[in-house]
Amino acid sequence: MSESPLVSHIYTADPSAHVFNDRIYVYPSHDRDTGVSDNDNGDQYDMVDYHVFSMDDVGSEVTDHGAVLKLEEIPWAEKQLWAPDAAERNGKYYLFFPARSHDGLFRIGVALSDKPEGPFAAEPEPIAGSYSIDPAVLVDGQDAFLYFGGLWGGQLQHYNGNLHDPAREEPTGDSPAINPRVARLSDDMKSIVGEVQEMEILDEQGQPLRADDHNRRFFEAPWVHKRGDTYYLSYSTGNTHYLVYATSKSPTGPFIYGGRIMEPVVGWTTHQSIVEHRGRWFLFHHDSSLSGGRNSLRCMKAKEIFYDEAGHILPVKV
């Protein structure tokens, strides 16, 4: 399979891939050159719109459906349309996205369309009770779950439970690591039902991953896919640049760490999705190869992945 970017006419990152009507649709963020120097708050990532891409199969021609949602069309958002995701339910299509509101905090919004390629119309307010970044949605039978969270620029370290505490920072040493959040979505996909919960990611001995275990601890990009009766939580370790996964028999966990999916790529970090299409499984991710290594100008790619007989994801080659 080609290692070329899926598209090269614009910079794209954080690809969320789904199969709708037997066609692959990808919902990435859209990088632009802002001239802002890289920093840990992510100020260089100042995206202002979303494009949708689709293809008949991985390796076939990719269609750019254009800008389907713009920052000025979202009443509550001030800036930074970061990594989105999409879902279908009851014939409607939903685009979930993070953005900084006017108080400087990230929240998660939702926009609706009658077609997977959009355009999407945003709800006037963010989802009540949401915070941080990197929304991912799993529709599992009659249930739908919203996963989210990201450290550093994604602000998750500043939350004590579900309450914002600007003095709180990422733990260190032998303290338990911060984990992504999960919430059940309402039938109309516009609100959270019940309380947002912190997920559990455990090691092989059933103990919580520790804060100083940067090769395995969660940093950002939670994504849950289901294969058979097993749920796979994949995520980025951030500053150590690995894509890793954990498994559970429940969509809300606890999840047991399973191993690495991919080693570091060109660029500071990566962000993934995993999808099945016509009996094959694909990893969508990004790197910075198209821009010659500029961390804020990225390109999305796709690779086929495989599982062993025990259900482990086999590492892919960079």
* Residues noted as catalytic: 14, 220
**Cα angle value 173/243/28 (rounded, 5°):** 120
Which residue spans within 129-254 are E strands per DSSP? 136-140, 143-148, 159-160, 163-164, 181-185, 192-198, 201-202, 220-227, 230-236, 243-248
The two counts, helices (H) then strands (E), for the chain are 0, 23
16, burial (CB in 10 Å: exposed 0-12, middle 13-18, buried 19+): buried
Question: What DSSP character marks residue 313?
Answer: B
Q: Shortest CA distance to 218 belongs to which of 197, 230, 234?
A: 234
Q: In sequence order, what DSSP letters do the residues of 191-204 get, joined into one string? A: SEEEEEEE--EE-T
Q: Which two tokens stand for residue 188?
A: 């109309």
Give the Å distances, CA to CA, from 231 to 138, 215, 234: 10, 21, 10
Give the Å distances, CA to CA, from 297 to 190, 235, 236, 293: 31, 21, 18, 8
Please answer whether residues 83 and 14 qualify as being in contact, where contact means their C-beta atoms are separated by less than 8 angstroms.
yes
The residue with tokens 């990435």 is: 28
